[in-house]
Chain A
Amino acid sequence: MELPVDLVSPVVAAGGKVDEQADYTAWDEAYRRVEAYFSALRIRNKLLLSTLVHRVLQRAAERQQEGEVGEPIELAMDQANREVTQWFVEILGLDEADRTDPALRGRLALLLADMPRQWQHEFLTDPPWPEPFMQAMRQSFLQAGPDFHLSQMEARPLELGPIPTFTGQALRDLDARPHLRNILMLLVVIGAAFLIFYLTR
């Protein structure tokens, strides 16, 4: 789904650069990127999606107006990222000391809490959030396997018997004497040829 660009244009126009074709194209690109990003987060509700994209672009345009340097796409995605990360910090109750990346933790929590299916309308909203949603987000934790219970497997000696032991030794000895090995190989071939010759006489 794509939003018509004119919805965003008044916002961009506030920056006074709307009549420059290059800038117009760049903001269109930014618009598409942010929309794609929220779609990748499985925001499928068109109204919600357009509202969020609109809000992010508006704030990005304001930042540009305030003199922040950067292409529209960078500013817009940075703005989207900031908003999403801040929202994760709040809803997950993370503090400064928490070394987990809020975005990584938050995205996984969104998925495990089934946000795309059940709580889409809560995405990027201000508190208060429904208690079940908050609980689902905070309790969502991915564990690939249970706790380790370490043990060690070690091969027990196996007596192979004299024939394999001798054969193994002989093969290793032959490897150590490649010339002898090649001569033996040659003798085998000659022997086979002789055998065929002899047997057909």
Chain B
Amino acid sequence: MATAQDLSEHGPEVLLGSPAMSAKRASVRRFIFLATFSIISVAGILLFADFMWRTAMTEIKWIILVLYAILFTHISLGFCNALFGFMSLRGNRSVGRINASIPADSDTPLAATAILFPVYNEDVSRVFAGVRATYEALRKTGQHEHFDLFILSDSTNPDRWVEEEVAWLRLCKDLNALDRIHYRRRIKNVDKKSGNVRDFLETWGARYRYMIVFDADSLMTGPTLVRLVQLMQANPGVGLIQTAPGLIGADTFYGRLQQFASRFYGRVFTSGLNYWQQSEGNYWGHNAIIRIEPFIEHCELPELPYKEPIGGKILSHDFVEAALMRRAGYAVWLVDDLEDSYEEGPPNLIDSAVRDRRWCQGNLQHSWLLFSGQLHAVNRVHFFNGIMGYAGSLFWFLFLVFSTLSVVRFERSGLTLFVSEGFTRPLGLSLAEHGTLLLAFTAVILFTPKILAWLDAVWDKQRRVRFGGFFRVTGSVLLETVTSALLAPLLMAFHSRFLVEVLLGRKSGWNAQNRDAGEGTPWVDALRAHWGQMVLGLIWSGIAWHYSTTFFWWLSPVSFALVLSPVISKITSSPHIGRSLRRHRLLQTPEEHQQPTIWSTCCREEAHLRDMLEKGPMQGAALALADPYINSLHYTLLEQNPAGAPIEAPPAELVERALSEGWDELSKDEKISLLLHPPTLRRLHHELWHRSARTLADSWRERLYAYPATNPQQLLGFV
């Protein structure tokens, strides 16, 4: 295989991966982007600084100015991304895009590719429905012989573990794909997801040229998967191509808001990102294709100085892997114009916050890498932007706190406001007009991306129709804007807390992501999660009201949202509202307008699999002990598991307890220890079926005797 070094000798075009753009032209693009970003940022900051100065600069106003500068710079970056993305979408789409490097109907031959599904206590029905839909989609392309699928389990829940095995075998049997779809569970979850992928690479990785990394809820259509491999084949200097996954399958109000935002606004942002980052793109951890050889060679994560959660093992591995791939000389691309790459999002604000807690810790760890001269500057911009995703919330919070303190100080001083002239003197603006101008300018920077996305849809008839038509698109944008404004202070409070927790050394757990809407967040959970925000909002409103009613109303969009946080959280979690909006075709996405086949296959299979796993004679890990087939399956997989150290036999009294007291009486760890040891597993199966009723727990007897009465269709598909 050619190395990046070899390829660079052929000129920058090859290394960039797109013959349509030279490195020089890419530099010009970056310069233009940076210049625009700088001009806008400086203009906004100066306007604000001048506003501060007109009423005399004090220490507290310096702090406010610095915080505003940081926040404004951050939103300017989003504005520029959207602006350049919008212009790029209206321009020549074949320039500067990896997807344009080969013709749309290219017949580039494929190479061995592994599709990875790392899972951790996920919903088994959903995961395997996704695997099935992916495999069937690949089969339809006729190119499926180039792909192997791997379910890489790190599940620690014994029920999930055994259900995964059952679902895997059933899937392989149904699709006649035992040699194509593989399952492996790690005994120890060393280094979480990155360790899981590394384990695959060290055992099987060298068999394949590429890997496509999925999340447990990822989906990609067959043609998209094939196209990704072709793009890699045609561009040997490219190490990684990231797709821009859109959210799909949301049911709740919150979920559909996020889904609409990702699909509707995402296009201008990703197009803008691609405009300036070009071959120095980023990796978002899933829905991406990776060249395995350089990944093995160069992308093992370094250990950070200091201990977790601030240092230690890198939690958010993706950004770092992209930077390491780039350091090795390989290009990293975002393919923003390749559709049909999907993922699911959290159904409510609380689940979203749980996920953010983990990402917050991971992104903050990237601070250690910001100053490394060995990494590309664009990768460091990605790190900085990721950190600001959370630190920005804390800065916003502090900006509001210091603004409050400033008001308190002024009101307590009893002085009259003395307004001097600023550099806006030629405009003859009063302080109120200056404030209005400042507010308007900030609003333009903040809301223009949404307006540009709206224009992008309005001008494109096909896109407009797919999002519900002109009026519904407009209504959806307004609804999303108002609701996200209500949600923003809540996210600010969550993120600020997470950031402080991480800095104080509190680690994040590793939770499976929840995608099930249920009946929405219960009131008690909403109150438990938001009571702090509610109290903060009440105290803050009280202080503001006490010192200045004007300031109270200025602060009200934030403080009212905080006071009402449990209500907002509860309402947005509602699947009823979500469905009602769908009926009225508000917040509609193209996938709701016309359901992709891969998604309908996934939904159908998920329902089918859930039915079988939940309505059989028994569920979960008990199957591995009692069911003759699952017992053999589990035993065989244990024997084939590439575990290092020998497994210790569980104590005899535990085996006896499992039989005489019943499976449900054991703890999770006790169950795992029984499920891990092959001879014990064999013995338990034998004893369960051979023991007399007197020495066997009632629960076991009932489970065994349920077999003759069970509907054949519910015998895990093995009828």
Contacts and interface: CB of A to CB of B under 8 A. Distances in A.
Nearest to A199: B60
Given A150-B206, A155-B302, A164-B305, A145 B184 contact: yes
Interface residues of A, number: 67
B173 interface: yes
Nearest to A148: B203
Contact of B627 (A40, A78, A150): A40
A196 to B, nearest CB: 7
B418 interface: no
Contacts of A37: 628, 689, 704, 707
Contacts of B203: 145, 148-150
Interface stretch (B121-129, B293-301, B655-663): B293-301
A37 B207 CA distance: 42
Contacts of B183: 144-145
A72 to B, nearest CB: 8
Interface residues of B, number: 81
Contact of A149 (B59, B204, B373): B204
Given A32-B705, A159-B373, A107 B631 contact: yes
A65 interface: no
A150 B306 contact: no
A112 interface: yes
A128 B405 CA distance: 93
B709 interface: yes
Contacts of A160: 305, 368-369, 371-372
A153 B708 contact: no
Interface in A18-59: 26, 29, 32-33, 35-37, 39-42, 44, 49
Contacts of A125: none
A148 B205 CA distance: 9
A191 interface: no
A193 interface: no
Contacts of B373: 159, 161
B632 interface: yes
A199 B642 contact: no
Contacts of A122: none
A196 B63 CA distance: 12
Contacts, number: 201
A153 to B, nearest CB: 4
B305 A169 contact: yes
Interface in B670-704: 682, 686, 689-693, 704
Interface string A76-114: 011001000000000000000000010111011011101
Contact of B409 (A32, A145, A148, A201): A201
B545 interface: no
B635 interface: yes
Contacts of B324: 156, 158
Contacts of A108: 629, 632-633, 636
Interface centre among A35, A172, A200 (most CB of B within 10 A): A200
A77 B690 contact: yes
Contacts of B710: 39
A200 B301 CA distance: 47
Q: Which 7 pairs from chain A and chain B are nearest by CB? A: A168-B305, A161-B371, A39-B707, A107-B632, A145-B182, A155-B300, A153-B300
21 contacts: A1-B709, A39-B708, A40-B707, A41-B628, A44-B712, A71-B692, A81-B686, A111-B169, A112-B178, A116-B715, A117-B719, A142-B169, A143-B179, A148-B204, A151-B296, A161-B372, A163-B371, A172-B305, A199-B402, A199-B409, A200-B412
